[in-house]
Structure 1
Amino acid sequence: MITLSNVSKSFRTSKGTVHAIQDVSLEVKLGEIFGVIGYSGAGKSTLIRCVNLLEAPTSGSVVIQGKEVTNLPAEELMQVRRKIGMIFQGFNLLKTATVYDNIAIPLRLTDVDKNEIDGRVTKYLRIVGLEDKHDAYPSQLSGGQKQRVAIARALAQEPELLLSDEATSALDPETTESILELLLKINAELGITIMLITHEMNVIQKICDRVAVMENGRVIELGKTVDIYAQAKHPTTRRFVNSTYHKELPPSLLQELKETGPVVRLSFVGGSTSKPVLAQVSALFPVSPNILAGGIIQLKQEKIGTLVVHLNGDPEETKKAIAYLEDQGVKVEGVEVGDE
């Protein structure tokens, strides 16, 4: 669906050149929900704007549905953009227009027939659950309802790709949950590919099939969401994953515990989440497992759990216990000071 190859974007400022994106390559597959996560300044907003050429890359290529779009003439680029919907954090609704007109005006500007406009507005207001807000004004809507209008406006263009630029970051947790459920519904029922950016790991957890983690304009880790949760490699990625579990170990405690045995992170995926492996470890080996932190969460399609465990025992016996855990399908990773 989308292929970015060695995409870079630089801006010249009074203080010098800013390299917002540096040599980013990734692919978004047809029909998936692909997330890009990073802290403020990571380059994720610039990246998503390069997808629909709101920002022209300094170098590299953007291919959408097999077509290179970075150097298209203006008219051809406009045709490509009509197949790309976009929703923003700030909603961008016209304050003096009704909900109906906020959705209809962009369609009028592209010469869609009036009867077709009526049909689309009705259809997509129903999909986002706002069919009763047809004549309301933005000032009469909650934040979540405004975002639903913005989503309906994007869908009314009947795009093949939907881009989401921090669409939930201005919303409270309950409203965020409902918007994420709506995006899942749109992806499943309409078959629209979704690419979203966020700084919130719970968004990735809830709806994304795959994720790219960005830092300083580069993609530092990329993979299936379940794999990123189970075995994050980069320290920044581990911080994002750990923020979901809310687990932090004081460095002094970690150092003290390691004197009597290793501290390990155990990751359980799917069926392994229900296995009583720690009870089995203590029964089979002269090792005392001490659970320090952890939890189980539901990803889009799978359950995944993590435990941080101190294995108190003889070094040779703890090695045997770790080998047993791995044989049971549990991913085991040593925890060092600064990891948590």
Structure 2
Amino acid sequence: MIQLENVTKVFSGKKGSIQALDDVSLHVKKGEIFGVIGYSGAGKSTLIRCANLLERPTTGTVKVNGVDLTALSPGKLREARQKIGMIFQGFNLLKTATVYDNVAIPLKLSGLNKQEVKERVEKYLEIVGLEQKHQAYPGELSGGQKQRVAIARALAHEPEVLLCDEATSALDPDTTEAILELLLKINRDLGITILLITHEMNVIQRICDRVAVMEQGQVIEQGTVMELFTTPQKATTKKFIGSVFSHNIPESTLTHLQGNGRIALLSFFGISSGEPALALVSKHFNVFPNILSGSIIQMKQEPYGQLLVHLRGDKEEVEKAIEFLIEKGVQVEGEDHYAVNIQRVS
């Protein structure tokens, strides 16, 4: 649905040139939610603005539903953008217009008649849960309600693609969860493909199907969300995952335990997250598990959890216990994998 091929973006200024994107390629499938995550300055905002040519790439091509936007005339590009909705971190609402008019005005400017405008505004305000706020002004709304208006405005053009530029970063955790639920509903019920950028890993794990990690203008790693959680390759990816699973273990505890058995990170996902595999270890083997830390999160399709455990016992029995856990669908990693997630506290 969205194809960015070898996209480079260079900004020129008085102090020289800045390369914001460096040969970036992304393929977003029809009907999926694709996330791009990176720290400030990674290039993700430039990337999403290139997806609808608010920023024109210096080199490379951008295709949406098979149409090469970079090859279109200005008139044809404006027409193509009607099928590409966009929501922003700052909402971008008209302060002196009602909720109804904030959604209606762009529709009127696009040439729809009064009845069509009315039908669409009412339809999409109902979808975002603001059917009772038609005559309210932005100043009377909460942050979450303002974002819902912005989403309704983007949906009113009935786009095939929705671009989300840090759509939840200005919101509190409860409101963020509500907006993420709304995006899931839009994706599921309306079949709209969503490309979003964020610096928050909880957004990625909660609603995305696939994800790309950006650093210094490049995509350094991409795959399904589950792949990146279970087998991260890059330090930046591991750092983001560590923001979800942070194991605060005293240095003295780690030093003491490492000489008496093995410390391992157990990852549970899907069906295995509900299996009492760890509880069965001490029943079948001369090994005594001690849970140091852990948690379970809900991903888009299934739960995923991590437990940092100390398996106390002799080497042979511990290895048998680990083989048993793997057979039960538990992923087991040593310290080289989880070291970036451990906060060694004194």
Encode CA deviations 1:129-178: one digit per residue, 9 max, x unaligned. 11111111111111111111111110111100000101111111111111
Asked whether the 8 Å contact 1:235–1:339 carries over to 2, the reply is no
Mean Cα displacement is larger for which, 51-60 or 272-281? 272-281
Mind listing any 5+ residue stretches in structure 2 that lack a counterpart? none
Task: Tell me the CA shift for residue 268 of structure 1.
Answer: 0.9
Separation in structure 1 between the aligned mates of residue 252 and residue 63 of structure 2, nearest angstrom: 50
Give runs of aligned pairs for residues 35-114 of structure 1, distance below 5 A.
35-114=35-114
- State how far apart, in whole Å, the 1-side matches of 2:231 and 2:59 are: 32
SS at match of 2:95: coil
Q: Distance in 2 between matches of 1:325 and 1:139?
A: 55
Does the 8 Å contact 1:230/1:269 carry over to 2?
Answer: no
8 Å contact from structure 2 (residues 246, 341) kept in 1: no
Q: Which secondary structure state, in structure 1, belongs to the residue aligned with residue 214 of structure 2?
A: strand
Match of 1:323 in 2: 323
Cα RMSD of the aligned pairs, angstroms, is: 1.7
Q: CA deviation at 1:328?
A: 1.5
The answer to whether the 8 Å contact 2:61/2:70 transfers is yes
Q: 1:140 is aligned with what amino acid?
A: E
- What is aligned with 1:33? 33
Secondary structure of the residue that 2:71 maps to in structure 1? coil
- In structure 2, distance between residues paired with 1:264 and 1:12: 49
Pick which of 20-29 and 277-286 moved more: 277-286
Matched, 1:127 2:127: yes
**Contact residue 289 and residue 309 of structure 1 kept, 8 A:** yes
Which deviations, in whole Å up to 9, do the C-alpha atoms of 1:189-218 show, x marking residues without a partner? Answer: 111111111111111122111111112222
CA distance, structure 2, for counterparts of residue 298 and residue 259 of structure 1: 34
Give the TM-score, by structure 2 length.
Answer: 0.93
Which deviates more from structure 2 when the two are superposed, residues 94-103 or residues 15-24?
A: 15-24
Following superposition of structure 1 onto structure 2, how do residues 1-340 of structure 1 map, counting pairs within 5 Å? 1-250=1-250, 253-336=253-336, 337-340=339-342
Structure 1 unaligned spans of 5+: none
Instruction: Give the Cα separation in 2 of the matches to 1:314 and 1:22.
Output: 51
Shift of 1:312: 2.7
Deviation, 1:45, is: 0.7
Per-residue Cα deviation, 1:106-149 (whole angstroms, up to 9, x for no partner): 11211111211111111111111111111111111111111111
Percent of aligned positions that are identical: 62
Mean Cα deviation higher: 24-33 or 11-20: 11-20
8 Å contact from structure 2 (residues 247, 341) kept in 1: no
**How far has the Cα of 1:251 moved from its partner?**
5.1
1:321 match: secondary structure: helix
CA distance in 2, matches of 1:230, 1:138: 42
